[in-house]
Structure 1
Amino acid sequence: MSRPIFPFHAEDISALARALKSQLDSREAPPGHVELLNMLARGAGWKNFQHFRAQFEAHERLEQPIVQPAPPPPAIDFRRIERLARLFDDAGRLVRWPKKFNQQQTCLWVLWSRIPARRDFAEREINLLLLDQHAFGDYALLRRDMIDSGLMTRTPDGRVYRRIERAPPPDAVALIRVLAGRGSQAA
């Protein structure tokens, strides 16, 4: 096992020499190894060698950023994606509104991905856009749930709607890709 190396630095070598001489003169016998380390540390301004070492190690930890391994990609339940894809027709339109909340949220992400980014929409425009994306005729439900889920925002008077830019969760990305591939096959 190798010993750690602690570089020693004193701002003023003359002050260090005076401090060492003073400490050595007050002793009756020569100092041992640990006592000499403590004398050197005190001469350079630390309380003792342990204080010097702790300061050095803390500085080293702060200077070297901690590199944490990237988390593994989240597992995608492709069986679930397959089931959710059945809620959409061959044209990619949502055929029916799922009963389960987590399925609803994933389907909303698909609709979110089809709203143009960084653009304001009037209520009528967003209604028409959502009407084109589903087949069960309840664009108000979709619009309201997208706002409640934080996927879209609207002004307090309800005149202007806008998609909120966020990264979709991995399962939503997988469903968006499946449905995008379905649309290219139909063409």
Structure 2
Amino acid sequence: MTSAAPTTTTPSTPVKRPPAAIHALHIDDLSQFAKQLRASLSTTETAPTHLQWLNLITKAAGRGNYQAFLAGADSAPAVAKTVAAAPAAPAATAMSAHAAKALTQFDNEGRLIRWPNKFAVQRIALWGLWLPFAMHRRYTEREVNALLNTWHGFGDPATLRRELVEMKFLARTPDCREYWKLVARPDEDVKAFLSALRGKRTAL
């Protein structure tokens, strides 16, 4: 009796999947990002899912939800090519005396350490306190104070909060329960000041 030859099975070729797209997330202010993320997590009762994490992270970075971030990221290569082909930017605009004076009111960590005497210098210094607030977010008065306390060192968030509202950097509800950042367009002098101030904060 002849035994049948054993059958062999050819292993199937694994299906190659295209690599997942990699989307880089740029965070302008890491300290502010951490605060925003912590505030968002404090309102969740259960551990976030993977998608919820993505939404929390992109929102804390000021990029909206994850889908909005992806929509912007898809156009990033074209933007990068355009930037690479653009001519070199002109040298930074020199600051005025008022802007330079405002910058001296901030320490090496970018915190306002004294309130300027001159109104023109105060106005420019307030731009530095407006900067860390996130657009399209509502803050309680307590949250505004906490953020101001992070970026100033003389213990008077109430005055700074009031000045930000009066100078139209922040708006609030009539009962002062909610505050939000207003759109403000800096001139070239203020842009130079903000660029120098960011340099202090990013050097940490």
Displacement of 1:176: 0.9
2:109 alignment partner in structure 1: 91
* Partner Cα distance (2:198, 2:143) in 1: 23
Alignment of 1:1-187 (within 5 A): 77-185=95-203, 187=204
**Partners of 1:79 and 1:150 in 2: CA distance:** 23
Deviations 1:68-114 (A, max 9, x none): xxxxxxx7544443322111001100010000001000011111111
Residues 116-138 of structure 1 deviation map (CA, whole Å, 9 limit, x = unaligned): 11110011000100111100111
Q: CA deviation at 1:147?
A: 0.5
Higher alpha-carbon Rg: 1
TM-score by length of 2: 0.52
Q: Tell me if structure 1 keeps the 8 A contact 2:98–2:120.
A: no
Query: 2:88 maps to which residue?
Result: none
Deviations 1:140-186 (A, max 9, x none): 0000011001111000010000011121232222111001112233x
Say which SS state the counterpart of residue 121 (structure 1) adopts.
Answer: coil
How far, CA to CA, are the matches of 2:197 and 2:155 in structure 1? Answer: 20
- More helix as a share of residues: 1
Larger CA deviation: 136-145 vs 161-170: 161-170
Residues 19-69 of structure 1 show CA distances to partners (whole Å, capped at 9, x for unaligned) of: xxxxxxxxxxxxxxxxxxxxxxxxxxxxxxxxxxxxxxxxxxxxxxxxxxx
List, as ranges, runs of 4+ consecutive aligned residues in structure 1 with deviation greater than 4 Å: none
**Structure 1 segments unaligned to the other structure (5+ residues):** 1-74
* Length, aligned pairs only: 112
Please give the alpha-carbon distance, in whole angstroms, between the structure 2 residues aligned to 1:83 and 1:165. Answer: 24
3-state SS of the aligned residue for 2:171?
strand
2:152 maps to a residue whose letter is H
Query: Is contact 2:115–2:122 with CA below 8 Å preserved after alignment?
Result: yes
Is the alpha carbon distance of 1:80 and 1:103 closer, same or farther for their aligned partners in structure 2, counting shifts above 3 Å?
closer
**Structure 2: tracts of 5 or more residues without a match:** 1-92
TM-score (norm 1): 0.56
